């Protein structure tokens, strides 16, 4: 079974400051990892994903994430946030074999303060 934990339900940060959104997962099998962003009244948009290879992955809108297998973490970072980054962010995993569906965390609400 898979589970995803996002410990921070809300993260306020000032504009142009750096931010890190934390994600830890648990799985008995190898997984692929994802970060999605959800703007108000919108669906989910893929920010980035880790499939294999370099553990540092870069995504859209200046976001990046680092896969740490020993700590079972996949934290999302951005060096300088903009007002437009205000949204809900979801970490998700899917097993590399077997089930095809995504398992999501409960989300982190990022609020960028002007």
The nearer residue to other proteins, 6 or 85, going by C-beta atoms, is: 6
**Contact status: 11 vs other proteins (CB under 8 A):** no
Number of neighbouring beta carbons within 10 Å of residue 87? 21
**Site for other proteins (CB under 8 A): which residue of 68, 80, 84, 96?**
96
Which DSSP symbol is given to 55? S
Could you tell me which stretch among 16-24, 61-69, 72-80, 86-94 binds other proteins (CB under 8 A)? 86-94
Phi, psi of 91 (to 5 degrees): -95, 145
**Contact status: 43 vs other proteins (CB under 8 A):** yes
Number of neighbouring beta carbons within 10 Å of residue 98? 8
SS3 84: helix
Dmax over CA atoms of the chain, in Å, equals 45
**Site for other proteins (CB under 8 A): which residue of 11, 27, 44, 86?**
44
Using CB under 8 A, list all residues that contact other proteins: 4, 32, 36, 41-46, 49, 51, 90, 92, 94, 96-97, 99-107
């Amino acid at each position: 079974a898979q589970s995803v934990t996002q410990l921070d339900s809300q993260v306020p940060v000032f504009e142009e400051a750096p931010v890190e959104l934390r994600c830890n997962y648990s799985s008995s099998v190898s997984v692929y990892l994802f970060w999605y962003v959800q703007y108000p009244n919108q669906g989910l948009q893929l920010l980035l994903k880790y499939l294999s290879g370099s553990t540092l992955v870069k995504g859209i809108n200046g976001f990046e994430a680092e896969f740490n297998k020993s700590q079972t973490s996949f934290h999302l970072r951005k060096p300088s946030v903009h007002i437009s980054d205000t949204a809900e962010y979801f970490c998700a995993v899917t097993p590399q074999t077997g089930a095809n569906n995504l398992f999501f965390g409960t989300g982190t609400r990022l609020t960028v303060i002007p």
